[in-house]
Amino acid sequence: MRRPVAVRVVGPMQWIVYPALITVAAAIVLQTPVELLGLHLPEPVIPMVLAFAWPLIRPSILAPVVLAVLGLLLDILTYGPLGLWGLTFLVIYSVVLASRSFLAGQDTAVLFVWYAACCLLAFVLAYLVMAAITPTPASLIPLLLQIVPTLLLFPFAHRLIERFEDGDVRFR
């Protein structure tokens, strides 16, 4: 006699809400003005992980809304213009969603190259928007110091993709 196989159904709470709440907590902690040995905490753009991973896990209507809210929260935390990071997250989400059929099942190195390209696209877009709305463009050195920690967050994106990619067989 065959035993029934339990199917692990993954709902929006597991792959959208909980990672978004963890992202908010990490963003708030990293925005605190702590200085240790003359160095400040890194300021990676943590929601970039979600903007890259969510369209690969499962296309959703809720994910872009949450990304826009996370972008507004990041704009408020960094005293930036409202909508800047929300726009960049939605652009990254749409680029990854458009290339989802190519990226599904790819090796980790290919995913990292796409993640790096998406990070570069997001930061170039944010830089261009800031250059258009401010009279003087921002310095490139702080921009590079923000890109590097954001690139180092790729293992979290990969773990999120690996954990939830096959979580629900109804969407295969």
Domain locations in the chain? 12-28+42-165
d(CA 157, CA 161): 6
Q: Which residue has the higher pLDDT, 65 or 32?
A: 65
Among the residue ranges 2-6, 16-20, 123-127, 133-137, the one predicted with the least confidence is: 2-6
Query: What's residue 6's pLDDT?
Result: 56
Query: What's residue 8's pLDDT?
Result: 58
| Global pTM value | 0.88
The answer to whether residue 60 scores a pLDDT higher than 90 is no
Q: Is 168 left (phi over 0), alpha (psi -120 to 50) or beta?
A: beta
Query: What's residue 33's pLDDT?
Result: 83
d(CA 159, CA 152): 13
Chain-centre distance for alpha carbon 118: 10
Q: Is 82 left (phi over 0), alpha (psi -120 to 50) or beta?
A: beta
Query: What's residue 9's pLDDT?
Result: 62
Tens of pLDDT, residue by residue over 109-163, are: 999 999 999 999 999 999 999 999 988 878 888 888 899 999 999 999 999 999 8
Q: 82 near 116, Cβ under 8 Å?
A: no
Q: Give ∠ CA 172-17-119 in degrees, rounded to 5.
A: 80
Give the pair of three-digit tokens for residue 85: 């990071």
Task: For residue 3, give the amino acid letter.
Answer: R
Give the pair of three-digit tokens for residue 142: 């702080």
Query: What's residue 19's pLDDT?
Result: 94
